[in-house]
Amino acid sequence: MSTSPSGPVVVYGAYGHTGRFVVDELLRRGLTPVLSGRDASRLAAMAEDRPGLEVRPARVDDPGALRAAVTGAAAVVNVAGPFLDTGVAVSGAAVAAGAHYLDVTAEQPAVEAVYAARPDDAEQAGVAVIPAMAFYGGLADLLATALLAGTSEPASLSVAIGLDAWWPTAGTRLTGARNTAPRRTIVDGTLAPVPHTAPRTSWDFGTLGDQPVAALPFSEPLLLARHLPVARLDSYLSASALSDIRDPSTPPPPATDERGRSPQQFVVEVVAQVGDREERMSVGGRDIYAATAPLAVEAVVRLLDGRAAGTGVVAPGEVFDAEDFLRALSPDTLTVRRRITGPGPRETTPA
């Protein structure tokens, strides 16, 4: 077991929609969050509802304030997006303070920028830097890692994300507008642009039914390409969810339970084809923003208790025991199903 930093967990962007879920999940898991972000008055207002929590305002273009904000932290969770505007600065401050860094970006260029900026200093500091520890990106990476455990043969992967609706937050809308780089996927074992006309097909999402889907990779190709033998990747999202976020009149997520979750239902299925054998694993759950919090916080818990297999810039599946990680979130956050459908022993098992 490696020695891990100790101290509180700084949440940068704490008063955002996802930030609030992350702060509450840290409290639920017995960790001490520190509220950080650029707006001092919104941080103070948030602390009124959560007495005893420290507030440390800082802008990303103020290195001194950012340094002070992360001093003494064991980990920093960055939930302030667009991450193209915050990832490099916040990860730099975290690593310089000897703290692990995680963010929840779905943007490919933001993952790439952090991967490029941090490999040496993170390794030297003995901390992990994990972009995209979230619903989009990290969850598919964990599922694919669990499916491909023990194989070094090249695999063809499909990642299909089914949503019954997508109520986007202001941050999601802003990030979509800011993220104009062509999306990439994996073709012939390397990252390559997705075709201009996104191919459409349909996908049977089980509990969510058969849905038209459009090819749309998020941050997962960059994570998968780091550490798994993926020859080809096809990523899909429900076409209706895409229409929801493209419609400017779609409202933000409504809170309909005591935890503040919307009623949104999701299914994420990953299918791995290795030779003539096909395996698939899927998870279902509620509210992609709320579900991001237990994913990020489970990662923090494992980094701090020594259940992480490395330091430096890493993908979630590269550093955590993927199957065990997913099982830990089941059934409260995720319901997990695994099926082997090719030649070989056929079975249906919980992960």
Ligand X SMILES: NC(=O)c1ccc[n+]([C@@H]2O[C@H](COP(=O)([O-])OP(=O)(O)OC[C@H]3O[C@@H](n4cnc5c(N)ncnc54)[C@H](OP(=O)(O)O)[C@@H]3O)[C@@H](O)[C@H]2O)c1
Q: Is the Cβ of residue 4 or residue 18 nearer to ligand X in the bound state?
A: 18
Bridge partner residues of 312 (DSSP):
128
Q: What are phi and psi of 141, to 5 degrees?
A: -65, -40
Q: Is the Cβ of residue 205 or residue 289 nearer to ligand X in the bound state?
A: 289
Query: Minimum CB separation from ligand X for residue 333, in Å?
Result: 13
CA–CA gap between residue 128 and residue 319 (Å, rounded) = 9
Residue (of 77, 87, 128, 93) closest to 107 by Cα position: 87
Q: Is the Cβ of residue 156 or residue 250 nearer to ligand X in the bound state?
A: 250
**Chain centroid to CA 275:** 29
Query: Minimum CB separation from ligand X for residue 126, in Å?
Result: 26
Q: Retrieve residue 266's tokens.
A: 């999701």
Ordered strands of the 33-37 beta sheet:
55-57, 33-37, 9-12, 75-78, 100-103, 128-130, 312-313
Residue pair 106/80 in contact by the 8 Å Cβ criterion: no
| Residue position matching structure tokens 């992480």 | 308
Contact residues: ligand X, CB under 6 A: 13, 15-19, 37-39, 60, 79-82, 85-86, 104-106, 132, 134-137, 169-172, 175, 288-289, 292
Query: Minimum CB separation from ligand X for residue 241, in Å?
Result: 13
Query: Measuring CA to CA, how many Å separate 199 from each of 176, 190, 215, 239?
Result: 20, 19, 6, 11
Query: Minimum CB separation from ligand X for residue 5, in Å?
Result: 23
Q: Is the Cβ of residue 17 or residue 337 nearer to ligand X in the bound state?
A: 17
Query: Minimum CB separation from ligand X for residue 104, in Å?
Result: 4
Query: Minimum CB separation from ligand X for residue 50, in Å?
Result: 15
CA atoms within 13 A on the CB side of 115: 16
Q: In 10 A of CB 196, how many CB atoms? A: 6
Q: Is the Cβ of residue 45 or residue 149 nearer to ligand X in the bound state?
A: 45
Query: Minimum CB separation from ligand X for residue 27, in Å?
Result: 17
Q: Is the Cβ of residue 37 or residue 317 nearer to ligand X in the bound state?
A: 37
| Residue position matching structure tokens 């810039």 | 313
Q: Kindly report the CA angle at 264 between 261 and 265, in degrees rounded to 5?
A: 115
Q: What are phi and psi of 122, to 5 degrees?
A: -65, -45
Q: Is the Cβ of residue 8 or residue 171 nearer to ligand X in the bound state?
A: 171
